[in-house]
Amino acid sequence: MRTTLYSTILIICLSVFYSCKEDKVEETPKEIIEEVIPEPVIKYGFNFDNYKVINDTIKSGESFGIILDRHHVFYPKINEISTTIKDTFDVRKVRAGKPYTILASNDTLEKAQVFIYKHNRIESTIINFKDSVISAYKYRKPVTIVERQIAGKVIDNFSNAIDTLGYGPTLAYEVADIYSWTVDFYRLQKDDTFKLIFEQKFIEDSIPVGYGKIKAAVFNHKGRDLYAYYYLADSIKGIPEYYDDEAGLLRRQFLKSPIKFQYRISSRYNLRRRIKLYGNRVRPHKGTDFAAPYGTPIMSTASGTVVESARRGGNGNYVKVRHNGTYSTQYLHMKRRKVRVGDFVQQGDVIGWVGMTGNTSGPHVCYRFWKNGRQVDPFREKLPTAKPMVDSLRPKYFEFIAPLKQQLDSIPSPEAVLEQIDNPEKPKEESEEIIAKP
How confident is the model at residue 432, as a pLDDT? 44
Cβ(248)–Cβ(212) under 8 Å?
Answer: no
pLDDT digits (tens, 9 = 90+) for 80-125: 999 999 999 999 999 999 999 999 999 999 999 999 999 999 999 9
DSSP 151-209: EEE-SS-HHHHHHHTT--HHHHHHHHHHTTTT--TTSPPTT-EEEEEEEEEEETTTEEE
pLDDT digits (tens, 9 = 90+) for 240-270: 889 999 998 887 778 888 998 667 788 887 7
- At 415, the amino acid letter reads E
Average pLDDT over every residue of 40-67: 94
For the chain, give the mean pLDDT.
84
**Rounded CA separation 182/85 (Å):** 49
Q: From the CB of residue 207, how many other CB atoms can be counted at a distance below 10 Å? A: 11
Q: Considering the chain, what percentage of its residues have pLDDT values greater than 90?
A: 53
Residues 416, 419, 421, 427: what is their CA dihedral angle, to the nearest 10 degrees?
-70
Average pLDDT over every residue of 394-416: 91
Is the alpha carbon torsion for 349, 354, 355, 359 positive or negative?
positive
**Rounded CA separation 67/315 (Å):** 47
How confident is the model at residue 38, as a pLDDT? 80
- Sequence length of the chain is 438
Average pLDDT over every residue of 194-220: 93
Residue 20: pLDDT over 70: no
How confident is the model at residue 122, as a pLDDT? 93
Residue 428: pLDDT over 50: no
How confident is the model at residue 120, as a pLDDT? 93
Query: Where residue 438 falls among pLDDT bands split at 50, 70, 90?
Result: very low
How confident is the model at residue 73, as a pLDDT? 95
Bridge partners of 85?
none
Domains and CATH numbers, the chain: 42-140 (3.10.450.350), 142-252+387-438 (3.10.450.350), 264-380 (2.70.70.10)
How confident is the model at residue 131, as a pLDDT? 84
- pTM assigned to the model: 0.64
**Rounded CA separation 293/126 (Å):** 40
How confident is the model at residue 51, as a pLDDT? 96
